[in-house]
Amino acid sequence: MFRNDKGITLTEIVVVIGITGLIIESLFLFINQGYKSWRTARDQATAQENARSALDKIVEEIREIQPSGPGGASIDSAENNSFIFYSNIDIDSDIERVRYFLEGTDFKKGVIEPVTNVNTQEITYPTANETKYLKAHYVRNIDLFSYYDKDNQQIGNDQKSNITEVHIKIVVDYDTNQPPGAITLETDANLRNKSLL
């Protein structure tokens, strides 16, 4: 049988290499699993943070809901998975049409600036002009919005002009098959202009 100077057999060398390989592989798997868990936790935290800041912004915008113009509506549509309203959401004095909605598991915001007809002074919000923004990823629920009147009764789209408060709930889960579990974020937003009536 082949022997080297120190008297180790080829079989022994092969076994040592094999064992070393197994150890390295296990170590790699262990580190890789740790990295995956860390990455999932990080992405879950980011998703949660994005959803939280989206909620904070919505509350501000809902507070400032107002008619799009003289005799105009304040709320266009009040569905479970979308909410369309008018509010001055930026620094200019124009009132924007704001739409929050779900697209798959993405929570998005659409904004339309008003267009004034120079001849008739009529204000319109052409849907083709809508600018969309992604506000939160990995949203797992579809019952995001619920609506209440001044008596705290839950109402629907058919009574949208009576809405004085909106409850918003966002369930975020980066990976539904892996821990950490889903996080539910909830908040209430009051229509300030309606509460004053």
- Considering the complex, state which of residue 41 and residue 59 has its C-beta at the smaller distance from Ca ion: 59
3-state DSSP assignment of residue 137: coil
- Considering the complex, state which of residue 86 and residue 138 has its C-beta at the smaller distance from Ca ion: 86
> Does residue 92 interact with Ca ion by CB under 5 A?
yes
Do the beta carbons of residue 155 and residue 162 sit within 8 Å? yes
Closest distance to Ca ion from the beta carbon of 123 (Å): 13
> Does residue 60 interact with Ca ion by CB under 5 A?
no
Query: Cα separation of 193 and 197, whole Å?
Result: 7
**CA–CA–CA angle 139, 143, 144 (5° rounding):** 65
Closest distance to Ca ion from the beta carbon of 75 (Å): 17
| Binding-site size, Ca ion (CB under 5 A) | 4
- Considering the complex, state which of residue 60 and residue 90 has its C-beta at the smaller distance from Ca ion: 90
Query: Cα separation of 86 and 158, whole Å?
Result: 17
Other C-beta atoms closer than 10 Å to the C-beta of 149 total 15
Closest distance to Ca ion from the beta carbon of 59 (Å): 17
Do the beta carbons of residue 142 and residue 81 sit within 8 Å? yes
Stretch that binds Ca ion, among 4-12, 48-56, 91-99, 163-171 (CB under 5 A): 91-99
For Ca ion, which residue of 12, 90, 143, 175 counts as binding (CB under 5 A)?
A: 90
For Ca ion, which residue of 40, 46, 66, 88 counts as binding (CB under 5 A)?
A: 88
> Does residue 94 interact with Ca ion by CB under 5 A?
yes
Find out whether the peptide bond into 180 is cis, omega within 30 degrees of 0: yes
Token pair of 12 as six digits:
């022994």
Residues that bind Ca ion (CB under 5 A): 88, 90, 92, 94
